[in-house]
Structure 1
């Protein structure tokens, strides 16, 4: 039967219009779900069928043109399953038989009364219902077949026996296990033999347990396919019947889940790896429930805190955090529950009471259903970082409060940091300094020197810092000199990260150093030895000039006592004078004469000018002294004494003669006495000239030049009264000398030879001038100088003649010494005097 309320569309063909309309009225009235379309001929009916789909055809038999049977046959050719009811007034077995043969659905003979229409309606509904049910069944079977054929596995019907004998297997078996459905259904291949031996017992027990409980079973197990591959199967089934022998009949579905199993195993491995990884990290990993209880933690939590896992399982997060941080803990905890993320720095207390600083970062997590589960996070030990931060604060405080300017440059050489001392030094606000190029505050040349020093330090593993002198230019233009100690900075990976510098102004120090250098230059330029002694009389400073006087180098004397170069008696004299200065505030210095003792023990007369060293506390701090060699002065004093002796002796005699002769001449009137007085006066004049000459010869020689000895000797010979004496020049040579002084030497030697070198036979003498390998000589052929007198002839005032002054040869010795030469007297080849001059080691 068709479903109630489901409309049935009917095509009614009858050549009687009145009857056709009547049938339609009765059918639609009797069954409201019937909709009737009436046509007057078979041809019109076929036309209508081609235009519209009908659920059923009702046709009369006797109709002009094409009768009902012919109409049926045509319909069956096109619409094989369409219900067709032959409703005719002329019934016969022959017609009925032909109709059935032609494929009629129902055969109904027309009668009298309206009940026949109810019967017709029922027949229509039944025919349509059966056709619709058949169609639905066919569609269902088609869909089921399509579903089974497209399932990723196989559908089966099997007996509940150990080898799981199959009664039905869908076509998916071949793709699933490599065996055909027929092979499994026939028993040529038993499903039980495909199952891995290791899985058989477990699988059987699981299925039987579910069957006994009256529940479907669901299992996973491994099989071996036809090509020897091991695959994972997932099976779901249930008992659907029991055969006559009491064996349960199972129906179910089996599919390949190898990929899923492998993914699940990978996920399991990944979870295990993740768990292991979490446990191996140095940071704490934790999961906290919404109530603050510890839900999950890694091994680091246990190792850091010292608590066992059992103890941690009974603890809340606040049991680990120190009490002083609880308020902050719960505030951040609640904020994290509201915002989804939170960070807190807090102290934790370990099982043994140790306190550590940790930074906790957490995020909300949800369970598998999407519900809030708690907070998962990482705890990182920041104890060391906090220590460094504290040190950084301390260093920053130190940097900001230290008096020296400090700065940091970035890798590009720009100022990254400057302390307050730097700002005060430059006269700018710190904001104006930071970010600027150093060349804004210092000469470019100094910037380049600093940059070069940093480069040198980067290439030198032995040095970590360097210092150099540089200048800064403040806001008001003031230039200051500074010592800048610089060092490169490095990041955690050892890469260059900039540089740092600490400056100390040295302007005043540099001025003092320059002033000290000037004084040191003056002291060194003085030429006289300068020294300082501490309060114990130990040398603390000696200049270079001391070496020439004592033979000691300055470094040899520093740290030695003054007694190294001075006798005890002279030290006592000096100490007494120092005490005099100390006792008399008006006296600043004192000078006294003494001797200095050189390395060889020789004594040299000196004059020492002593002053007290300044002392901040007013106590005696030592002395400073300047030593002056007074040997020349002492020699001049001795010469002066000699001059005084000569003057008092040699000049007194002729002076007395002059006075006596003049007195006699005046009283007697005899003028012959005046001649004797004149001769005495000439003698005095000669003596005075010699004294003046001798005094001048002691001076340093003037400008020197290369002089021809023979020519100069010839000129000197002309200027001397030589009488009948002759000059012989034996060879010549040039010598570097003061020509005027050397000429005086020749003149004095020539005079001495002519006056004192007479020959024994009375013949005129011959004077010769010649050269030697080391100098030159002047010789005569007179009587010579006795050997015992040769050491005395150069003494001042020495003479063997009443008419001589005794200064001529002294002048010769003085001039030779002034030139750096030596002179000696020997015997000439002819027995006379020979004066040899040594001017060099070898000509």
Structure 2
């Protein structure tokens, strides 16, 4: 006897054996337990037949009561046994099948004929290799219904060799139908669905889930879900929620954002001991719509809380039913403060307001501007009608536009002022007009305009309140105000030197005028934002006007320079014609005499006249070059230029004493020629050296027994330098003429040396004067403007 128990119990097993049970098996869902039962029964049957134990044949009750089919093949593939379930499946009696070959099961319909070889090969592997094979069997049963069986083929034997095959076909048709129906249901779902086993591996995905995952990468069945998530997966919300569901065995529902899929998903996860079923849907559109809606609501709320807006509602009698908005702050009221009060009583001193509300209550849509308590409001009133067409409510919106209204009025005034700027001809006129324009733009404001010179000093040019001291100046670094924007300053902290005299300012605005200077505006009250905007526009207008005026002045100066240049050209032509005519006539005369007489003396005199003409031409060309204004001045160290010029002149026994000098803006080459001409004039014309007097030197000299000394230094009382010597000096009665073109006191002189010096000084914008040195010699003084401190100490050269 074999006992086939549903659940194992060792005490029960021992008791069963003690009462004569031959074998004890515990039932399992696996097919192997059924095969073991059949094999156990078959073995006992063999023993019963051999030992003639008829009582053990009761084992058939167990096998033949099985819900699954069972059959046994011997090692020659003959059917040894089939249970009644096989008879039901095939429609053939067991006696008809027993003893037949395996092929008889095909004839009986248990195996489809077209797949016979697959089953035969499986039986062969069981017999030859002792393995268990599992196959799916599809066929039409005795009732004509299609059926699906899971067939388990297990080896049977005595433990040493395989003597047969035990087959257990289990009908899984209903399960497959249920699975198919469930799959079809899942595929028809609009939600994506997937299932995970207890090890987090995918065991199922519907088409919608595959589509969603496929946007990045579709997972394979058997793949772990955490391999799809960004690393580390444990940091993700999915990881936390899924583990929570499995740990608590309670469903979880949540929304989460997925970066790889750039979207929001609503997820519902249902746990079981064997895994997790997950339904999810893409809710990105809904989520973003809600986020946009929330953002819009927040913006609207922010607008209402921050804009100077007043929202009001009135009943049919004009009584406030609502009063909200940040604009109430400008009225000194709290939201809801006037609810229940009549608008006609509240605004009885403001006819513009009561008139607008009355018109609105009469059914008219009203747009108006109202001035109330020093502020200006744009207001809109709209009636609300009931079913009978009567006004049941009036809605009002008011916005504080005080700044805008002030700006509009100021712009109109500024437009008129701008036309006046076009007619100005000097920077002083522009400054005066700018100062006068400020009170037109800002009520009760005072203004002062400060203009800058080329070196960054500011001087007052115009004021609306009192006059500045004529010597008033303030120093600032060059360009120190050019890049500034309009700056609001507390008057206490402001440099009061820039304020108009007798100013009682509490607030100050600094308005930059580009490189031209600064407009300073002050008032006893606080500036409005509109005031700052208007003054910024005024500053831009004034800056443009100043720039235009400066350009026009530069153009006029350039035209004057061109006219002067043309005049100099005319002078130059006249000088050339005059100064060359005489030596040319001399040369021509001596050439004629030489040709007539053949005497060499006449030819030599003609050659001397030609040499003089050559020198005149050189000096005249140099003179023409030096008279051109210096346009591209650069910093020049006078000490360096003086030393170079002294070395370039044949000074003989003369001595140079150079005192401390400075740096000027000028033309390095022209200044070198200036000092050369001065040194030649002093040294070559007044020295005791061996060189003859130059052609362009003015007659003065040092007594033969006294060495010549030339001094160069800075002026004490003015900005400039001097060049002096200890020669005999130049007579006072000819000092005004020594700078004239062509003036000379020697027959061989051209008269252009000191004229060139004067033109070089004039081209730099300097003045030069001639006087007497402390030793009685000549002293030339140049008044100029330094741009830097001195770079070298005094030196003496011999």
Regarding TM over 0.5, the answer is no
TM-score (norm 2): 0.30
When Rg is computed on C-alpha atoms for both structures, the one with the higher figure is 1
**Larger RCO, structure (CA 8 Å, separation 6 or more):** 2
Q: TM-score, normalised by structure 1?
A: 0.28
